[in-house]
Amino acid sequence: MTDLSKITCIEDLRVIAKRRVPRMFYDYADSGAWTEGTYRANESDFQKIKLRQRVAINMEGRSTRTTMLGQEVAMPVAIAPTGMTGMQHADGEILGAKAAKAFGIPFTLSTMSICSLEDIAAATNGHPFWFQLYVMKDRDFVERLIDRAKAANCSALQITLDLQMLGQRHKDIKNGLTAPPKPTIANLINLATKPRWCMGMLNTKHRTFGNIVGHAKNVGDVSSLSSWTAEQFDPALSWADVEWIKKRWGGKIILKGIMDVEDARLAVASGADALIVSNHGGRQLDGAQSSIEALPAIADAVGREIEVWMDGGIRSGQDVLKARALGAQGTLIGRTFLYALGAFGEEGVTRALQILHKELDITMAFCGRTKIDQVDSSILVPGTF
């Protein structure tokens, strides 16, 4: 066991991940679309929101426990679906799922994961997890993916609606992002400086897209995420498809990528169980609002009819608390999870969850609340949100 007691914030984990993870995969995580304006705003808009400091209120008996989709969670945080997670660290998705299970929060597996649905089910002894679905043109393949998710005991399906086409991230093009990396001189030189990562990869058989390779027919070069997305993702995705998927799945549905009140109303009309206010971590529409800025209007409009969650820019437990205060029943973490994983594998993810939990618990207490379910916008300074 590594002593991670000196790792005190998520930024510590990011700095170490940058050192340990090959450049193309670190850059894949730490990037947004085009100018990265929305990516930056996702983080910086949290800083503008100010908390009301309250004193002489009994702070004993605190709890951050709550529910997401009726499921009890240790805190209102779930691990977001992220593609190629098994390239941040060998077996990354398995390690993330195990850490989430032990901590008592949900884990979401991406369609574009390295470890497959079946790998996660086997590694967590059938513990329920969530599956994120991208809708491909090949509907047979989508149907089989849905059936595999059921067989793997997934308890909810997240349909991502904001990636009918891939937004442009400059770094991925410049780095020639593939999984596994191609043996170019630049890559080999960079990999030579990442011995820990290389050893991990040598010791696993999970090195390319596990949900796809061997399951999808007539696919071209899967190793290149961008060309595969362009070939296979369905740009004609519509609300009728959501209905079709909901029927086929027959279980709980979460719609991911809602940033507009009108779309939120359509999400309610679709009969979904939850929606995620999300701009894909600033990776799709650059120039969109930050998620935390978009959240209050959506929560006000539909929060009584559907469970509203958010993701984008969560780097501390304070961010979780602010999201909760502005109407999000739950939050999801993308990069916070990836940096922790890239830095220290499963132990890193556990450490990140401990850090978020402690920050959430202490901040809640300083704001004069002992139960997360008592938190609302009255903990925030008016005019700062």
Burial class (CB in 10 A: 0-12, 13-18, 19+), 208: middle
**What's the min distance (Å) between Cβ of 211 and ligand FMN?**
10
For residues 172 and 27, the answer to whether their CB atoms sit within 8 Å is yes
**Contact window for ligand FMN (CB under 6 A) among 11-19, 68-76, 330-338, 352-360:** 330-338
280 lines the binding site for ligand FMN (CB under 6 A)? yes
Strands (E) located in the chain: 66-68, 71-73, 77-79, 108-109, 130-133, 156-160, 252-258, 274-277, 307-311, 330-333
313 lines the binding site for ligand FMN (CB under 6 A)? yes
The single residue of 89, 170, 206, 280 carrying the catalytic annotation is: 280
CA distances for 316 relative to 8, 304, 332, angstroms:
11, 27, 12
**What's the min distance (Å) between Cβ of 53 and ligand FMN?**
27
Residue nearest to ligand FMN (CB): 334
DSSP state of 280: G
Backbone angles phi, psi at 347, to 5 degrees: -60, -35
- Tell me, yes or no, if 280 is annotated catalytic: yes
**What's the min distance (Å) between Cβ of 311 and ligand FMN?**
4
**Contact window for ligand FMN (CB under 6 A) among 140-148, 186-194, 233-241, 278-286:** 278-286
**Contact window for ligand FMN (CB under 6 A) among 78-86, 199-207, 232-240, 299-307:** 78-86
Find the binding residues for ligand FMN in span 352-381 (CB under 6 A): none
Find the binding residues for ligand FMN in span 334-353 (CB under 6 A): 334-336, 338
For residues 342 and 29, the answer to whether their CB atoms sit within 8 Å is yes
132 lines the binding site for ligand FMN (CB under 6 A)? yes
Closer residue to ligand FMN, CB minimum distance, 324 or 369: 324
Find the binding residues for ligand FMN in span 158-197 (CB under 6 A): 160
81 lines the binding site for ligand FMN (CB under 6 A)? yes
23 lines the binding site for ligand FMN (CB under 6 A)? no
Exactly one of 194, 256, 324, 369 binds ligand FMN (CB under 6 A); that residue is 256
Strands (E) located in 273-317: 274-277, 307-311
Find the binding residues for ligand FMN in span 28-67 (CB under 6 A): 28-29, 42
Strand pairing of 66-68 and 71-73? antiparallel
311 lines the binding site for ligand FMN (CB under 6 A)? yes
Which pair of structure tokens corresponds to residue 291? 């998620």
Complete edge-to-edge strand list for the sheet that includes strand 77-79: 77-79, 330-333, 307-311, 274-277, 252-258, 156-160, 130-133, 108-109
Buried b (16+ CB within 10 A) or exposed e, 266-291: bbbebebbbbbbbbbbbbbbbebbbb
Closer residue to ligand FMN, CB minimum distance, 80 or 352: 80
Closer residue to ligand FMN, CB minimum distance, 44 or 378: 44
Tell me the one-letter amino acid at 375. V
Closer residue to ligand FMN, CB minimum distance, 28 or 249: 28
Closer residue to ligand FMN, CB minimum distance, 80 or 379: 80
Exactly one of 281, 327, 345, 348 binds ligand FMN (CB under 6 A); that residue is 281
For residues 233 and 245, the answer to whether their CB atoms sit within 8 Å is no
Other residues' Cβ atoms within 10 Å of the Cβ of residue 130: 24
The set of catalytic residues is 280
- Residues forming contacts to ligand FMN in the complex (CB under 6 A) are 28-29, 42, 80-83, 110, 112, 132, 160, 256, 278, 280-281, 283, 311-314, 333-336, 338
